[in-house]
Amino acid sequence: MSENKQHHVNLKFLQDQLRWCQERDSILQEIESKLYEMKGIAEYASEHELSSTEIVRLNHQQGVLKNEIDSLKEQLDVPVH
């Protein structure tokens, strides 16, 4: 393989790795945002007296966020090529 061709192959590989890292970073940022949202809900709940309806609503919100985080974490489990 010529030196120029090898350089092109290496460049393509590095570009693919960079794109993969950027995608993972984006997913991790989404997870972080959802975790902060969950933290905010938990702090709100601990600082206020809530009715049973509010507790159910906040627990549902927490469950939705947890499911979204689980889905995002699955995207992180995709192997590197």
What is the domain partition of the chain in residue ranges? 3-76
The pLDDT confidence band at residue 21, using thresholds 50, 70 and 90, is very high
Report the residue count for the chain. Answer: 81
Distance CA 61, CA 36 (A): 13
Residue 81: what pLDDT? Answer: 58
pLDDT tens sequence across 40-80: 999 999 999 999 999 999 999 999 999 999 999 999 987 66
Q: Are 81 and 16 in contact (CB under 8 A)?
A: yes
Is 33's pLDDT higher than 90? yes
For 13, residues 6+ apart whose C-beta sits below 8 A from its C-beta are none
Rounded to the nearest 5 degrees, what angle is found at the Cα of 69, between the Cα atoms of 63 and 75?
A: 145
Residue 31: what pLDDT? Answer: 98
